[in-house]
Structure 1
Amino acid sequence: MKWTDINDIAIELDESHPEVDPRYVRFTDLHAWVCALEGFDDDPEHSNEKILEAIQMAWMEERD
């Protein structure tokens, strides 16, 4: 997965962190969790606030 695989990342986060409400996740934690996902293979420095926000929004949609 790459940073641009927003929906795939959201699904993986939902499966790996079912106890977490994505509305309240700090971007620093979100960044670390994405980088730790199995199958994630992208440069950690290539993320930004816009990408993290898109991941968070997709995760909230996945949760609903």
Structure 2
Amino acid sequence: MKWTEVQEIAIQLADKFPETDPTRVNFVDLMNWVMALPEFDDDPKHCGERVLEAIQQAWIDEVA
């Protein structure tokens, strides 16, 4: 899984952290959690604020 797979990342985060409110997750934690996902395999340098915002929004949409 790569940084560009925002929707899949959001689904996996929602499954892994069902009790977590994605609106309260800071970007440092979010980045670390994404990189810790078992299927994730991408360079941390390819991640930026826009990518993290997109992942966070997709996660919010997923649990809404």
Same fold (TM over 0.5): yes
SS in 2 for 1:35: helix
Q: Aligned equivalents of 2:20 and 2:13: distance in 1?
A: 9
TM-score, length-normalised on structure 2?
0.98
Q: TM-score, normalised by structure 1?
A: 0.98
Q: Amino acid of the residue matched to residue 58 of structure 1?
A: A
Q: Which amino acid is the alignment partner of residue 33 of structure 2?
A: W
1:13 matched residue in structure 2:
13
Displacement of 1:35 in angstroms is 0.1
Secondary structure at 1:29 match in 2: helix
Structure 1 vs Structure 2 CA RMSD: 0.4
User: Aligned pairs, how many?
Assistant: 64
Q: CA deviation at 1:34?
A: 0.2
Unaligned segments of structure 1, at least 5 residues:
none
**Percent of paired sites with the same residue:** 55
Q: Choose 37-46 or 50-59, whichever is displaced more.
A: 37-46
Please give the alpha-carbon distance, in whole angstroms, between the structure 1 residues aligned to 2:29 and 2:45: 15
